[in-house]
């Protein structure tokens, strides 16, 4: 005989709440500019372009990533073309992205490694992605999810911050957030949650002073850790 847990202990309530959250975030996203990484994915359908833009995006504003990616793609559209560029050419194409000199070296090495070890293709495999210079869990998961359609949760600063503010998780770092969200979210949301929360973080739930007045999530959000808001 199956013993049903008491109503309050069922996870169904959380699932319903998360579906509600998802619908509100999607409605909000429809009013915003498309994020650079989503635009790169939809315009190129290429894991390589996505990987390059993701490396450029680390610690860099979205608009800067957009323009830097476009300039670099005018010079190189394949791993072989990227590996053949001068470091200075890559650095000046992606400037003023954060750490542009370091990223230029990483990007050229990534191009070379993709040619040498992966037949000029981006591997759809987490371990292989993590071996590439400048690629951590965030980038690997983004490429797996958006580039290959493999369920993976890309936790960047927006996903980590907002998941904690909403009380979906209670974690200290992005790796712990990724693990916790894997339990909270059904797999069909793993890929999209990044773009939903990045768009929301860029336009409403800002790091230092979120715009809580009029927020579409106001009645769902306990504002955990929020000390100042508008
Ligand atoms: S109510 Fe404030 S803290 Fe909560 S999601 Fe909205 S903007 Fe963020």
Q: What is the DSSP string of 137-161?
A: HHHHHHIIIIIH--------HHHHH
Q: Are 126 and 105 in the same domain? A: yes
Q: For residue 50, is pLDDT > 70?
A: yes
User: Band of the pLDDT at 82, cuts 50, 70, 90?
Assistant: very high
Q: For residue 5, is pLDDT > 50?
A: no
Q: Average the pLDDT over 32-58 and give the result.
A: 96
User: Band of the pLDDT at 209, cuts 50, 70, 90?
Assistant: very high
Q: Are 142 and 61 in the same domain? A: yes
Q: Does a structural domain hold residue 4?
A: no
Residue 156 appears among annotated catalytic residues: yes
* Residue that has been written with the tokens 């990616």 in this structure: 69
Phi, psi of 163 (to 5 degrees): -60, -40
Q: Are 120 and 53 in the same domain? A: yes
Domain count for the chain, please give it. Answer: 2
User: Band of the pLDDT at 1, cuts 50, 70, 90?
Assistant: very low
85 and 75 in contact (C-beta within 8 Å)? yes
pLDDT tens track for 115-130 = 999 999 999 999 999 9
Q: Are 118 and 194 in the same domain? A: no
Provide the CA 168 distance to its chain's centre, in angstroms.
17
Q: What is the DSSP string of 11-72?
A: THHHHHHHHHHHHHHHHHHTTSPPPHHHHHHHHH--HHHHHHHHHHHTTS-HHHHHHHHHHH
Distances (CA, A) of 123 to 114, 115, 120, 130, 145: 8, 11, 9, 10, 12
pLDDT at residue 110, rounded to an integer: 98
User: Which residues touch 185 (CB under 8 Å, ≥6 apart)?
Assistant: 18, 153, 193
With the C-alpha atoms ordered 87, 93, 95, 97, is the resulting torsion angle positive or negative?
A: negative
pLDDT at residue 14, rounded to an integer: 74
Q: Are 197 and 111 in the same domain? A: no
Q: Does a structural domain hold residue 73?
A: yes
Structural domain boundaries, residue 117: 46-148
End-of-domain residue from the set 100, 131, 148: 148
Q: Are 115 and 92 in the same domain? A: yes
Q: Average the pLDDT over 168-175 and give the result.
A: 94
Residue 103 appears among annotated catalytic residues: no
- Chain-wide mean pLDDT for the chain? 93
Separation of CA 36 and ligand 1 centre (Å): 23
Q: Are 142 and 158 in the same domain? A: no
pLDDT at residue 139, rounded to an integer: 97
Q: Are 52 and 71 in the same domain? A: yes
User: Band of the pLDDT at 16, cuts 50, 70, 90?
Assistant: confident
User: Band of the pLDDT at 8, cuts 50, 70, 90?
Assistant: very low
Q: Are 127 and 203 in the same domain? A: no
End-of-domain residue from the set 148, 182, 205: 148
User: Band of the pLDDT at 3, cuts 50, 70, 90?
Assistant: very low
Q: Does a structural domain hold residue 186?
A: yes
Q: Which of 103, 138, 192, 195 is catalytic?
A: 138
Q: Does a structural domain hold residue 228?
A: no
Cβ(168) – ligand 1 distance below 6 Å: no
Q: Average the pLDDT over 36-65 and give the result.
A: 96
């Amino acid at each position: 005989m199956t013993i049903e847990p008491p109503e309050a202990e069922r996870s169904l309530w959380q699932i319903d709440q998360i579906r509600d959250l998802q619908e509100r975030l999607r409605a909000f996203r429809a009013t915003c500019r498309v994020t650079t990484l989503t635009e790169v994915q939809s315009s190129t359908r290429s894991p390589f372009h996505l990987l390059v833009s993701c490396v450029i995006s680390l610690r860099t504003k979205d608009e800067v990533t957009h323009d830097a990616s476009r300039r670099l793609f005018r010079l190189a559209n394949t791993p072989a073309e990227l590996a053949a560029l001068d470091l200075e050419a890559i650095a000046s194409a992606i400037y003023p992205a954060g750490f542009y000199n370091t990223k230029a070296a990483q990007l050229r090495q990534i191009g070379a490694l993709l040619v040498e070890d992966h037949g000029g293709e981006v591997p759809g495999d987490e371990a292989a992605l993590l071996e590439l210079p400048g690629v951590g869990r965030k980038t690997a998961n983004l490429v797996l999810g958006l580039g290959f359609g493999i369920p993976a949760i890309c936790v960047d600063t927006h996903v980590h911050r907002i998941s904690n503010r909403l009380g979906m998780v209670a974690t200290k770092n992005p790796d712990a957030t990724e693990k916790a969200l894997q339990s909270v979210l059904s797999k069909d949301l793993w890929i999209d949650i990044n773009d939903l929360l990045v768009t929301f973080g860029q336009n409403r739930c800002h790091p230092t002073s979120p715009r809580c007045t009029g927020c579409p999530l106001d009645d769902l959000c306990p504002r955990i850790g929020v000390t100042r808001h508008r």
